[in-house]
A and B are shown apart, each in its own frame.
Chain A
């Protein structure tokens, strides 16, 4: 059997917010959603993406003025990336085999073991590349590594079920309860996401629901209450994590030629986050602010 290969856009070591302990988070490229606040808009497309980091560019003369004037990159090939002296021109997305990926992430095995950490598969949406994601999880499990799957839930039930089978922990993102508002904010309806989550919780021992708190999008009382009511009815849910909105993604949107609609939005205050957390805790759900264990 030939091992599947996948398109990975980042392997982030010393991740301490994507599950327990010190973890390596593997970000897979491609996502069926297009959330307006997405932290990694360059991850959405299921193909390598060229980007230019302006702050690194030394204007060495390899790119034309017209190229430099544009937010997005055009007319470039992989060899241009290699030639760029400062690394300002980058190709986001690397094709890698599951074998090679496992070897790479196992370099931090010692730290997984001293911290109770492991590996998290994230994205994008990892289940866009389901065979690769499932194979990687399986191989890591076989190596005795704690595995986590971070998913938006918008996937076929079979893919989700098979991936979850090889994950010690599932981090399940939940954005909005109202289907129409969900579609406006992410581009898709939440129907499948909600049924998948219910089904998963009746099957899997360890599921954490992660809720990005996006001011003006999903932090209103009605949505928070509806979310709390829904998740508290789920069987055996491990915990809820609130992930506060952060404006870091704005320059990244420009780089991939997308429009950012949250300009000027501030990070929610601690008081606001605590108030939201209290709604979940009142229903008996362990709740953390940030991705760590509650």
Chain B
């Protein structure tokens, strides 16, 4: 049974203060972790097997790092010595002094770096790790073909700077403590067959390392219990003394044992979260998964026995949320350090969805969490709702009300399709239902899968290579397959075949590189704590990074399907169907960035079939491209017993990929961004949201590991119950058609001003005028100003 709670009560003064502190604190780089790890490695290098070495170094961190217990906090533990102090992982990626200076001075998403940190790096860290860090080893191992394609912007590589990541907890940590995991590990060691299993020794080392990782987390909690007990003695505040004593008691119980109430459950997760992100720097941190489902029994029990009220539960959840916001993403190095990045580490909370038994998973905690999301507006954690056929309308509408407030969260996933996608990959029905989405839109079996994003793949660059016989104009090298001079591509079939050949050629290069990277992580960078809480690493005696998880899918994320579809559509129509512009003329015009051929560019922009309009001419090319990609990627084996899968998501990579591409036949100028996710090219969709959804749903989403669709609305269009009903029907409709994910952005007055200044980039923006809706950029200037003013004043 779910109840809808509409009135939002204010956060308590405590959580309001903690929230403000978190927002006001500037991110900084802290060298403590690097120093501890470096000193440990200097002293112990060569004494232990790699997994045991990693686990012991992790124990050393938990045993000696500076603790933080903030005034008024109820959930405790920080990765750094203070909130937003971000550690570094030199064993993985060693920043140069120059990187650190750039991070300190770049205008956007900067990190404060004290001069002492740079001194420490120059004196202790860099001399030891340069040439030893995994990144340095990896770069030396990867072949020239990989480096050339990488430099040309054909693809990116996720594991180049951060470890495999964006994984998610299932419910086991709420039922079993570290002592229980240690007992399981001991049994697994006892069952090893040294006589017949040649890997028995490796497995024992791995299992011992996992056991040490359990000890490390328990030690970390014990130190917090001691600290809270000491502060309880010294505080003059009687109320705080009771809280500190309670914190001490919680930290003495979890994570050693399974939690007994809501407070312990949240602290249990938080210690596990910190352990995962302290031991290694994985992509997208770590995520709690189906938090509403995990917490529901503790919440219900607390209400029943009187130990909790709705308000006190909410305060605990708010304290928990602030912890995520305190944990800024670790920054990257090298070229990418100079680009603007993001502070968010993409930890993502799942709401609603299905239970293991296929029942609607929403409950009162779902609504409680939505209230916290709505009120707190924190950058982290992200949130999403998994909407199944069984999700009540009232639950989805609560999420839509939150989305309507303009923060883009929660994003929405189709729980039924998410299950189908995983069944296709060979997972059990129960594991699939217990899974969901993490990071941006990626699908995985929570607590049972290493599902690795390996990098973005630039579709437009593949078409460009096909138009240049495999030659990359920007870097001046042959990167692709020699598919022939464009003058010899006599038919559209010839062109598409050349395009597909480039895709396969470059994918081969990427996958050969991936396999090397995967083996380096398997051999050199075990993630011992994550292995403890991921099935079936204990049972198999293998690490998470070495195929120990029950499922091991690797993803390649294709970027620019909208742009490449429109480019193919224009080439097909003008060069082949109508024979108006020859392919060589196209190639020349594109290489010259349409110089002196603006009329051609305008025709390409305005007079060709575009993806996103429910137009079969264009959409058929989209599905053909998608199916070609699927055939080229899906099912290819990785080195961990799993397979490669296709995803369609960009994060912000469509901007970078656009920068490295010449002008394209969709009328896009050189260097301009590609389309993002499976969204149409900005402004190319002219037939409204239902047409966009119909076009996007023509792709078989079940064959992917996730797709991303963004839509923009003005506040007026979604105002009132009437607007909410329309939004609700769009979601239900798209999910009926088999869509995987959608996210609504409700635009602000500021964005409307940007659209007025730069209409070409915002032609898809629909606004409600009065009693009807129109494209913002087609309105008169006076009307635009009026709508901006009304949006600003929230008068809709």
Do these two chains interact?
yes
Does A30 count as interface, using CB distance less than 8 angstroms?
no
Nearest-Cβ distance from residue B173 to partner chain A, whole angstroms: 38
Does B599 count as interface, using CB distance less than 8 angstroms?
yes
Which B residues lie within 8 Å of A111 (CB)? 690, 693, 729-730, 733
- Taking A108-B690, A115-B725 as given, write out 18 further A-B residue pairs in contact, using a Cβ cutoff of 8 Å, ordered by the A residue number: A12-B688, A14-B688, A15-B773, A21-B729, A39-B772, A53-B778, A85-B600, A85-B603, A86-B605, A87-B606, A111-B729, A114-B729, A115-B726, A117-B729, A246-B769, A246-B770, A248-B780, A290-B771
Does B20 count as interface, using CB distance less than 8 angstroms?
no
Residues of chain A in range 23-47 having any CB-CB distance to chain B below 8 Å: 39
Which A residues lie within 8 Å of B730 (CB)? 22, 111, 114
Provide the bound-state CA to CA distance between A221 and B716, in Å. Answer: 30
Nearest-Cβ distance from residue A146 to partner chain B, whole angstroms: 13
Within the complex, which residue of A22, A87, A248 is in contact with B774, where a contact is CB–CB below 8 Å? A248
Which A residues lie within 8 Å of B694 (CB)? 107-108, 110
Which B residues lie within 8 Å of A22 (CB)? 690, 726, 729-730, 733
- Listed in ascending order, the chain B residues whose CB lies under 8 Å from chain A are 598-600, 602-603, 605-607, 614, 687-691, 693-694, 722-723, 725-726, 728-730, 732-733, 736-737, 769-774, 778-780, 783
Given known A-B contacts A14-B689, A22-B690, A251-B780, A85 and B606 have beta carbons under 8 A apart: yes
Asked if B732 and A114 sit within 8 Å, CB to CB, the answer is: yes
Does A16 count as interface, using CB distance less than 8 angstroms?
yes
Provide the bound-state CA to CA distance between A267 and B790, in Å. Answer: 13
Q: List 27 A-B contacts (CB under 8 A).
A: A13-B690, A13-B691, A14-B726, A16-B723, A16-B773, A17-B771, A21-B726, A53-B778, A55-B778, A56-B606, A58-B598, A58-B602, A85-B606, A86-B606, A87-B606, A87-B607, A107-B614, A107-B694, A114-B728, A114-B736, A115-B726, A117-B729, A246-B770, A248-B769, A248-B780, A290-B722, A290-B771
Asked if B771 and A244 sit within 8 Å, CB to CB, the answer is: yes
Residues of chain A in range 49-90 having any CB-CB distance to chain B below 8 Å: 53, 55-56, 58, 60, 82, 85-87
Provide the bound-state CA to CA distance between A12 and B688, in Å. Answer: 8
4 tightest CB-CB pairs across the interface, nearest first? A115-B729, A85-B602, A14-B688, A114-B732
Residue of B nearest to A251 (CB): B780
Residue of A nearest to B782 (CB): A247
Which B residues lie within 8 Å of A246 (CB)? 769-771
Which A residues lie within 8 Å of B693 (CB)? 111
Residue of B nearest to A22 (CB): B729
Asked if A13 and B733 sit within 8 Å, CB to CB, the answer is: no
Does A291 count as interface, using CB distance less than 8 angstroms?
yes
Asked if A16 and B599 sit within 8 Å, CB to CB, the answer is: no
Asked if B772 and A17 sit within 8 Å, CB to CB, the answer is: yes
Given known A-B contacts A16-B726, A21-B729, A22-B726, A110 and B770 have beta carbons under 8 A apart: no
Max chain B CB contacts within 10 Å: which of A13, A113, A243, A246?
A: A13
Does A292 count as interface, using CB distance less than 8 angstroms?
yes
Residue of B nearest to A267 (CB): B770
Nearest-Cβ distance from residue B351 to partner chain A, whole angstroms: 21
Which B residues lie within 8 Å of A114 (CB)? 728-730, 732-733, 736
Asked if A86 and B602 sit within 8 Å, CB to CB, the answer is: yes
- Write the A207-229 contact mask toward B (1 if CB under 8 angstroms, else 0): 00000000000000000000000
Which A residues lie within 8 Å of B773 (CB)? 14-17
Which A residues lie within 8 Å of B780 (CB)? 248, 250-251
Provide the bound-state CA to CA distance between A291 and B603, in Å. Answer: 37
Provide the bound-state CA to CA distance between A82 and B573, in Å. Answer: 14
Within the complex, which residue of A12, A85, A108, A250 is in contact with B607, where a contact is CB–CB below 8 Å? A85
Provide the bound-state CA to CA distance between A91 and B729, in Å. Answer: 33
Which B residues lie within 8 Å of A250 (CB)? 780
Residues of chain A in range 233-251 having any CB-CB distance to chain B below 8 Å: 243-244, 246-248, 250-251
Provide the bound-state CA to CA distance between A243 and B694, in Å. Answer: 30
Which B residues lie within 8 Å of A53 (CB)? 778
Within the complex, which residue of A14, A82, A290 is in contact with B690, where a contact is CB–CB below 8 Å? A14
Which A residues lie within 8 Å of B691 (CB)? 13, 107
Q: How large is the interface on A (under 10, 10 to 19, 20 to 34, 35 or more residues)?
A: 35 or more
Provide the bound-state CA to CA distance between A27 and B730, in Å. Answer: 23
Which A residues lie within 8 Å of B778 (CB)? 53, 55
Provide the bound-state CA to CA distance between A251 and B550, in Å. Answer: 64
Nearest-Cβ distance from residue A46 to partner chain B, whole angstroms: 23
Which A residues lie within 8 Å of B607 (CB)? 82, 85, 87
Provide the bound-state CA to CA distance between A291 and B688, in Å. Answer: 19
Max chain B CB contacts within 10 Å: which of A56, A115, A246?
A: A115
Which B residues lie within 8 Å of A247 (CB)? 783
Provide the bound-state CA to CA distance between A53 and B729, in Å. Answer: 34
Asked if A115 and B606 sit within 8 Å, CB to CB, the answer is: no
Residue of A nearest to B718 (CB): A16
Asked if A248 and B599 sit within 8 Å, CB to CB, the answer is: no
Nearest-Cβ distance from residue B219 to partner chain A, whole angstroms: 54
Asked if A110 and B733 sit within 8 Å, CB to CB, the answer is: yes
Provide the bound-state CA to CA distance between A16 and B689, in Å. Answer: 12
Provide the bound-state CA to CA distance between A119 and B498, in Å. Answer: 44
Provide the bound-state CA to CA distance between A92 and B771, in Å. Answer: 22
Provide the bound-state CA to CA distance between A14 and B693, in Å. Answer: 11
Asked if B733 and A115 sit within 8 Å, CB to CB, the answer is: yes
Given known A-B contacts A86-B602, A111-B730, A13 and B771 have beta carbons under 8 A apart: no
Provide the bound-state CA to CA distance between A133 and B544, in Å. Answer: 65
Which A residues lie within 8 Å of B605 (CB)? 86
Residues of chain A in range 158-210 having any CB-CB distance to chain B below 8 Å: none
Which A residues lie within 8 Å of B737 (CB)? 110
Which B residues lie within 8 Å of A107 (CB)? 614, 690-691, 694
Provide the bound-state CA to CA distance between A22 and B724, in Å. Answer: 12
Asked if A248 and B690 sit within 8 Å, CB to CB, the answer is: no
Provide the bound-state CA to CA distance between A221 and B795, in Å. Answer: 26
Residue of A nearest to B602 (CB): A85
Nearest-Cβ distance from residue B581 to partner chain A, whole angstroms: 12
Asked if A244 and B770 sit within 8 Å, CB to CB, the answer is: yes
Given known A-B contacts A60-B602, A85-B606, A251-B780, A16 and B733 have beta carbons under 8 A apart: no
Which A residues lie within 8 Å of B783 (CB)? 247-248
Nearest-Cβ distance from residue A103 to partner chain B, whole angstroms: 11
Provide the bound-state CA to CA distance between A107 and B688, in Å. Answer: 13
Provide the bound-state CA to CA distance between A90 and B770, in Å. Answer: 25
Provide the bound-state CA to CA distance between A11 and B210, in Å. Answer: 63
Within the complex, which residue of A16, A82, A244 is in contact with B722, where a contact is CB–CB below 8 Å? A16
Max chain A CB contacts within 10 Å: which of B614, B689, B725?
A: B725
Nearest-Cβ distance from residue B521 to partner chain A, whole angstroms: 44
Provide the bound-state CA to CA distance between A85 and B600, in Å. Answer: 7
Which B residues lie within 8 Å of A108 (CB)? 690, 694
Which B residues lie within 8 Å of A14 (CB)? 688-690, 726, 773
Provide the bound-state CA to CA distance between A111 and B783, in Å. Answer: 30
Asked if A291 and B771 sit within 8 Å, CB to CB, the answer is: yes
Provide the bound-state CA to CA distance between A15 and B687, in Å. Answer: 11
Nearest-Cβ distance from residue A149 to partner chain B, whole angstroms: 18
Provide the bound-state CA to CA distance between A72 and B722, in Å. Answer: 39
Provide the bound-state CA to CA distance between A246 and B607, in Å. Answer: 31
Residue of A nearest to B729 (CB): A115
Residue of B nearest to A244 (CB): B770
Provide the bound-state CA to CA distance between A110 and B725, in Å. Answer: 15
Which B residues lie within 8 Å of A39 (CB)? 772
Residue of A nearest to B774 (CB): A248
Max chain B CB contacts within 10 Å: which of A12, A14, A60?
A: A14
Provide the bound-state CA to CA distance between A113 and B730, in Å. Answer: 10
Provide the bound-state CA to CA distance between A11 and B606, in Å. Answer: 19
Nearest-Cβ distance from residue B739 to partner chain A, whole angstroms: 11
Provide the bound-state CA to CA distance between A85 and B691, in Å. Answer: 24
Max chain A CB contacts within 10 Å: which of B729, B736, B783?
A: B729
Which B residues lie within 8 Å of A290 (CB)? 722, 770-771
Given known A-B contacts A13-B688, A13-B690, A87-B607, A243 and B729 have beta carbons under 8 A apart: no
Provide the bound-state CA to CA distance between A82 and B606, in Å. Answer: 11
Max chain B CB contacts within 10 Å: which of A58, A60, A85, A250?
A: A85
Which A residues lie within 8 Å of B603 (CB)? 85
Provide the bound-state CA to CA distance between A246 and B773, in Å. Answer: 12
